[in-house]
Structure 1
Amino acid sequence: MRKFTLAIALIAPMLGHAAWAEDTVKIGYIDPLSGGGASVGEGGLKTFQYLAEELNAKGGILGHKVEIVPFDNKTNPQESLVQAQKAIDAGVRYITQGNGSSVGLALEDFVNKHNTRNPGKEVLYFNYAAVDPSMTNEKCNYWHFRWDASSDIKMEALTSYMKDIPSIKKVYLINQDYSFGQSVRSDARKMLAAKRSDVEIVGDELHPLLKVTDFSPYIAKIKASGADSVITGNWGQDIALLLKAAADAGLKVNWYTYYAGGAGGPTAIKQTGLDHQVFQLTEGFANSGNQAAMDYEKAFRAKVNLSLWYPRAVNEMRMFKAAAEKANSIEPVKVAAALEDLKLEVLDGGTGFMRKDDHQFFQPIYVSSFGKLAANEPFDEENTGWGWHLVSKVDTPQAMVSTTCKMARP
């Protein structure tokens, strides 16, 4: 009887979800959970928590349970470094972040220095939305991997679409005054000049990041400029409030955006009344037409009560699992090596891959417009009755850009 009881005691932990390996895979989520970026930060946190639950329901990563550990950085680079150290002290070996390239650049440098000083205790930085091109060019390093398209990749896709629209004559640029916003304005100027030299830039504005509460003075300038189109990389409350001010002023222009689909953006677009005149660049969207992705969107919304803003987060977590299985290890050094040149069938269909040269992920890019839904488009946004509609798709080979990265490898 004693032997039987002992056997049951040994077997019981191996049944069901109790059969976890000893070490939990902790992923430190370092993003704004307070302040002006809180709405997008909270949405990202819920997304990664959903993805962790999804992995754990299927046995985790190599039998290890996945845990998302949140850290509030208030969209501040210095605070992010404090939180990154707290995460490492708490046993985190993987961190993920996306909102703010100024934060991303600080974390990239921090992780590189930490790993140099602490061999055997390396940490990887998984970037899901910080898109300053310098992060995979002159400031690249081995410990950073980016799943979002960099801002120059997105601008290449956007301007390739815009060049074939003859009605675009006068463009106004408005962006957040930090590294990402500055890269959007410089890329827009360079690429429009190369593809449509007849287009006039009638305004070029930078404003403080997540600090402006009234965009009406900026909208007045756009209106006075005679612009027919606006290009903006604004995100978070900066795009929602910008569009709200446009609606209040009755500004009727076309908007070419990176992040109009974030929290509050769709509601503000509906208020403008600009039916399919606001465009967005993404790696996927709810009405993409890919059935597997649309089924995933439906399940995600039912559980999280949010739209899936970050298909790239799905790609990131799936690829993390695939790399760990390829390496047969959850050790960051081995996972990093396995990620290089790894291919993945992305959520919205098509092949993506992590380029070894600079750790930039390449994938199809979509241009979509926001407005009244077609009969075959089931998903609206923020209960507006309007949703995203496919305008153009750029396949992976055409979405690639060159790199100047000179990566130092361990």
Structure 2
Amino acid sequence: MVAMASALPSSVSAAEPIRLALIEGLSGPLGNGGEAVFRNLVWATERINARGGVKLPGGARPLALLRFDSKGSVEESLSMLRAATDQGVRVVLQGNSSAVAGALIAALDKHNAREPEHRALFLNYAAVDPALTNAQCSFWHFRFDADTDMRLAALVEVIAQDRQLKTLYLINQDYSFGQHLQRQARAMLAQRRPDLQIVGDDLHPLGRVKDFMPYASKIRSSGAQAVLTGNWGNDLTLLIKAAKDLGLDTRFYTFYGNALGVPGVLGEAGVDRVLAVAEWHPNVGTPDSERFYAAFRQRFPKPEHDYLHARMQLMVEMLVAAMEKAGSDDPIRVAKALEGLRLDGRPLGVAHQGWMRPTDHQLQQPLYVSVMRRVGEAGVPHDNEGSGVGFRTLRYLEAGQAQQPTACRMRRPE
């Protein structure tokens, strides 16, 4: 359990904490991503506690974050969910794998129906398969990341404007998220850039490839001018490292190229070649953003800890706002308070804003497409991971521009 902030008043620190269970791969080949998430959520809970905790009718209560290491496995994640609910935890957090998220949604639906006195909510910060808020949408599940179609549409918007681009290679992880991205990328590109030739299309095992040189060689042989990938964690870092080692002069349109080792690996070689889409990045340039980033760097000063996502901070802030609105931490009351909730996190130091769409529990939020540039250039005051390179905004989409339709037919509890 994460220690409570020492600045808490004694009356708050003595109150029973509201426990949040992080179920994530904290070890194994993708453990670096899980630990990076943990740092974000530690900071989010610390900030709430420093303000006095969650203000409820019975008195203020602090947040406490529990670690449950799923090792990136669906089976282990389900075991950790049972352990968390057995301990009476009412809020579960997960995101690094849509396959895991889908299994957790199904299991939590059954648990909440069987044991209404021990219900729990699932807050998702990174599992972006659209099916999770469409075919599998659940009253108990809320997603705070932009889904695959939202992120992909933003990247395709930039690709569509690059009329010099003629050939593209697709490479993704072989599970629900990567498979959907593969299909949807072809559909969107066929509509927006029917002249663009897809010269390669690979799916590879999630977290099991140690050497991406064979894939980099295929990309070179294909003659692709650019690569579109949803890879994350070491699967992205190792892919781009292989491309660098092979000397590929290829542009990478990525979902996650602005964090988790990619800037540090590429450095100068990634300038003008790596693009990323996110809800925020350190060089957004507003005063709120500058204060937000400076506060995080003060808390986590090591360059290798440079992995900050505004949506994770907003997720915790919105959870607390919903609890305070409901006057309770009861999952069904909190879920109803979350539906339709709008929160501008900027006054709270989050530098981000969002609206929780009631129909499918998909957060609607602005998106940025950015490109890697040298630190110190116009629009790039901050680098990533001490690499000397950072990201500059290419395209900003308001929440209304980024939203996608939903096919959710949600079943609500009586």
| Pairwise same-fold verdict (TM > 0.5) | yes
> Do residues 40 (structure 1) and 33 (structure 2) align?
yes
Correspondent of 1:93 among 90, 94, 107: 90
Assess if the C-alpha contact under 8 Å between 1:40 and 1:262 holds in 2. no
Deviating beyond 4 angstroms after TM superposition, the runs of 4 or more aligned structure 1 residues are: 346-351
Q: Find the aligned partners of 1:372 and 1:264 in 2 and give their Cα distance.
A: 16
Post-superposition shift, 1:120? Answer: 2.2
Q: Find the aligned partners of 1:294 and 1:31 in 2 and give their Cα distance.
A: 29
Map of 1:293-312 to 2, 5 A cutoff?
293-305=289-301, 306-312=305-311
- AA at the equivalent of 2:165: I
- AA at the equivalent of 2:384: E
Q: Kindly tell me the number of residue pairs found equivalent between the two proteins.
A: 395
Assess if the C-alpha contact under 8 Å between 1:192 and 1:199 holds in 2. yes
Q: Find the aligned partners of 1:375 and 1:188 in 2 and give their Cα distance.
A: 32
> Do residues 275 (structure 1) and 271 (structure 2) align?
yes
Equivalent in the alignment of 1:6: none
- AA at the equivalent of 2:374: K
Q: Find the aligned partners of 1:346 and 1:217 in 2 and give their Cα distance.
A: 44
Equivalent in the alignment of 2:400: 397
Correspondent of 2:229 among 214, 229, 232: 232
Assess if the C-alpha contact under 8 Å between 1:346 and 1:363 holds in 2. no
Correspondent of 1:134 among 124, 131, 134: 131
Assess if the C-alpha contact under 8 Å between 2:310 and 2:352 holds in 1. no
Post-superposition shift, 1:21? Answer: 6.8
Q: Find the aligned partners of 1:53 and 1:292 in 2 and give their Cα distance.
A: 19
RMSD: 1.4
Q: Find the aligned partners of 2:34 and 2:124 in 1 and give their Cα distance.
A: 14
Q: Find the aligned partners of 2:286 and 2:72 in 1 and give their Cα distance.
A: 34
Deviates more, 1:305-314 or 1:194-203: 305-314
Map of 1:243-392 to 2, 5 A cutoff?
243-270=240-267, 273-305=269-301, 306-346=305-345, 351-373=353-375, 374-392=377-395
Cα distance change on mapping 1:322 and 1:41 into 2, 3 Å: same
Deviates more, 1:137-146 or 1:317-326: 317-326
Q: Find the aligned partners of 1:161 and 1:114 in 2 and give their Cα distance.
A: 43
Q: TM-score, normalised by structure 1?
A: 0.94
Larger radius of gyration: 1
Q: Secondary structure at the match of 1:19?
A: helix
Equivalent in the alignment of 1:8: none
**CA deviation string 1:126-175 (max 9, x = no partner):** 00000000000001110000000000111111111211110111010000
Structure 1 gap segments, 5+ residues each: 1-14
Assess if the C-alpha contact under 8 Å between 2:88 and 2:118 holds in 1. no
Deviates more, 1:159-168 or 1:342-351: 342-351
Q: Find the aligned partners of 2:387 and 2:136 in 1 and give their Cα distance.
A: 41
Q: Secondary structure at the match of 2:82?
A: helix
Equivalent in the alignment of 1:109: 106
> Do residues 409 (structure 1) and 406 (structure 2) align?
no
Equivalent in the alignment of 1:56: 49
Q: Find the aligned partners of 1:308 and 1:61 in 2 and give their Cα distance.
A: 26
Map of 1:63-78 to 2, 5 A cutoff?
63-78=60-75
Equivalent in the alignment of 1:157: 154
Q: Secondary structure at the match of 2:206?
A: coil
Assess if the C-alpha contact under 8 Å between 1:133 and 1:150 holds in 2. yes
Assess if the C-alpha contact under 8 Å between 1:297 and 1:308 holds in 2. no
Deviates more, 1:256-265 or 1:240-249: 256-265
